[in-house]
Amino acid sequence: MKRLHVLAMPTLGAALLCLPLVAGAQETDPDTGLVKAEGWDTVRSNCTACHSAKLVTQNSGTRNHWENLIRWMQDTQGLWEFQAETEETLLDYLAEYYGPKEDTRRPALPRTLMPDNPYPTVADSG
Ligand code: HEC
C-alpha cells in the first residue's frame, strides 16, 4: 500500500526511477558492488577480507578520511600494513570513486520520519 503513494507523486516517482540509471553509468562488480575501475581489485583483495564490501561502498570521504580509516583499522582492528605503492592505489581509488558526497542528495528519510502523505492515493480512489 505504501508503495502506491509513489504513483501519486509522479515527479518523485520519476526521480526514483532515474536513480539506477545514474548509478549504472559506472560499471560495478556484481559480487562486491565496487566500481570497476583502476585499483578496484586491489581494494577487493585488501578490503573485503574482514567485512563486507558494503562497508566500503557505503562510506565516502576525502583521501584524508580514507587514510585515517585505514590507520584506525591498522591500529585497532588488525589491518595489515601496506606497501607504499599499494596504499597509493587504495587511496587513489577510494578518494576517486568514494569521495566526499558534496554534490549528491542526502539519503532519503526513513519511512518512520516521513509525514503522512496528504495526497489522494490510488488506493483511495479504487
Ligand atoms: C583486518 C581486518 C580488516 C581489513 C582487512 C579491513 N578492515 Fe575495515 N574494518 C575492520 C573492522 C573490524 C571494522 C569495524 C567493523 C564494525 O564496526 O562493525 C572496520 C570498519 C570499516 C569501515 C567503517 C568505519 C566506520 O566509520 O564505521 C570502513 C569504511 C572500512 N572498514 C573500510 C575498509 C577499507 C577501505 C579497507 C581496505 C583498505 C578495509 N576496511 C580493510 C577491519 C578490517
Is pTM beyond 0.85? Reply is no
Mind listing the pLDDT tens digit for each residue in 111-125? 788 888 888 888 776
Residues with CB under 6 A from ligand 1: 46-47, 49-51, 55-56, 59, 69-70, 73, 77-79, 90, 94
Task: Give me the residues of the chain with pLDDT under 70, please.
Answer: 1-24, 103-107, 125-126
Spacing, Cα 112 to ligand 1 middle (Å): 29
Which pLDDT score is estimated for 9? 60
| Spatial separation of the C-alpha atoms in residues 32 and 25, rounded to whole Å | 17
What is the domain-level CATH number for residue 68?
1.10.760.10
Residue 80 lies in a domain: yes
> What is the span of the domain harbouring residue 86?
33-105
| Spatial separation of the C-alpha atoms in residues 44 and 42, rounded to whole Å | 5
For the chain, the domain total comes to 1
Residue 13 lies in a domain: no
Q: Which atom of ligand 1 is nearest to the CA of 49?
A: 5
Mind listing the pLDDT tens digit for each residue in 23-44? 557 899 999 999 999 999 999 9
